[in-house]
Amino acid sequence: MQNLNLFVSAGEASGDLHAAEVIHFLKEYLPENCTLKAWGMGGQKLKECEIELIQDSSEMGIIGIADIIKNLGFLYKLEQNLIAQIRERKPDIALLVDYPGLNLRLAKAIKKYVPFCKVVFYIAPQVWAWNKNRIKKLPFLIDRLLTILPFEEDLHKTAGTSTRFVGNPSAWSMQNLHPATRAQILTACNLNPEHKVIGIFPGSRKREIDYMLPTLLQSAKQLKEKNPDLQFVLVRANTIKQEQIQKYISKTGFQPIIETSEKNHYLLKAVDIAWLTSGTVTLEASCTETPLILGYKEYPLFFKGYLFLRQIDKIGLPNIIANEFICPELLQDDCIPEKWVAITQEWLNSPEKLENIKQTLRQKVKEPLTTEVNPAANVAYEILMINQINKISQENQIHMRQQAHNNSKKTKQEISQKGIIYN
């Protein structure tokens, strides 16, 4: 009976979800003569997979530079505890999911203290966006890098890291939605399928709501005055309380229909135009071929820091993948109602423009991201293959050491028989 001793590190809700899907496929694919012993850091999804959690990541809730500075002591103790457990338990494989700040330091510790452990990193650090020097370090820290953006594979291979594009989880989710028509989706949300619908997706973090939602609601109010039949639906993430949304609705005096994130993917598919805060949701909208405008606002000092550190001129993932501005980016001082209204009004007045955007999204974003196999299944397969090769390699090393020991012992005996003193 063989064991797969797997350390898992997933530091955010999205990483927890992706890691849990990998565990699901690992259990499905695991050979009959092998048992899985998985443990590490994760949240509710990994807990449901019956993984032994030595740190619950859902308790962390650390977002942005300010939160990191405030929680330096906690993060240091967390890192040291994880490293101590790694040294004691000596995993065969480490599955590190996203969260590069901590996970790359864990990879370094693993290479130092448990050199036979193979490091599999799922969802590559965005070295193309900032901290470009990291790319030179990855070949020494990571045994297999599994990327979710197609252009990352060649980028990291060129730098010397063993890399494979396994598919994009967001694209896979959108690709495998249960069938539903636009009319069915909108009717279920008390919207009239006969009229145009704008979807407002203000983000899943409190800071995003505070900075973005007032602008989006003011934009919607102005656009509604010009287009009385136009409908608006606002999707509230589970991480955002209704009171926080309602506070800004009361201030602007504009009341959209509000839906929770359970209908998020379906509404992305059904709305005519999506207003989005930059993030993964922009990829999801692209994979439904929904024309989108993305915006982002931040505390001015933090935004200046971002401008100083960034290495590319785009913030939206669809634009980065296509390497062109398919969707407008309204950032900081440009994120004002006048610009949201002007762009949306132009699109509403031009069905040809909307159709061209849909076609470009399909060809330059959706199709490159589309895969026939669930990305998590590909990751599970990689882990099992690496583990098998690693076990064979370790057995060969043990055999070779034993052979060397036997040969040395035999040589000593032969020398002794010839009367030569051997020290």
The amino acid at residue 257 is: I
As a whole number, the mean pLDDT across the chain is 89
Q: Is the pLDDT of residue 297 over 50?
A: yes
Contact 45, 12 (CB under 8 A): no
Q: CA 279 to CA 315: how far, in whole Å?
A: 9
Q: Is the pLDDT of residue 238 over 60?
A: yes
The amino acid at residue 36 is: L
Q: CA 258 to CA 270: how far, in whole Å?
A: 15
Measured in whole angstroms, the distance separating CA 174 from the mean position of its chain's CA atoms is 15
User: Residues 243, 246, 248, 254: what is their CA dihedral angle, to the nearest 10 degrees?
Assistant: 180
Q: CA 283 to CA 316: how far, in whole Å?
A: 9
pLDDT of residue 398: 55
Q: What angle do CA 375, 36, 379 make, to 5 degrees?
A: 15
Domains and CATH numbers, the chain: 2-166+374-401 (3.40.50.2000), 176-346 (3.40.50.2000)
Q: CA 46 to CA 17: how far, in whole Å?
A: 7
Segment 394-399 mean pLDDT: 58
What is the full DSSP assignment across 236-301? EPTTS-HHHHHHHHHHHT---EEEEGGGHHHHHHH-SEEEEESSHHHHHHHHTT--EEEEE---HH
pLDDT of residue 137: 93
Per residue in 31-61, pLDDT (tens digit) is: 888 899 999 999 999 999 989 999 888 766 5
Q: Is the pLDDT of residue 118 over 80?
A: yes
By percentage, how much of the chain surpasses pLDDT 90?
Answer: 70
pLDDT of residue 95: 98
pLDDT of residue 291: 97
Residue bearing the bigger pLDDT, 204 or 230: 230
- Band (279; pLDDT cuts 50, 70, 90): confident
The amino acid at residue 61 is: G
Segment 381-404 mean pLDDT: 76
Highest mean pLDDT (candidates 162-166, 309-313, 387-391): 162-166
Contact 147, 165 (CB under 8 A): yes
Per residue in 72-109, pLDDT (tens digit) is: 677 788 899 999 999 999 999 999 999 998 999 999 99
The DSSP 8-state label assigned to residue 365 in this structure reads I
Q: CA 336 to CA 157: how far, in whole Å?
A: 41
- Band (134; pLDDT cuts 50, 70, 90): confident
Q: What angle do CA 313, 369, 169 make, to 5 degrees?
A: 100
pLDDT of residue 422: 42
Q: CA 273 to CA 347: how far, in whole Å?
A: 9
Q: Is the pLDDT of residue 66 over 70?
A: no
Q: CA 17 to CA 122: how far, in whole Å?
A: 12
Residue bearing the bigger pLDDT, 371 or 13: 371
Cβ neighbours for 344, distance < 8 A, ≥ 6 positions apart: 198, 219, 223, 273, 275, 293
pLDDT of residue 423: 44
pLDDT of residue 131: 75
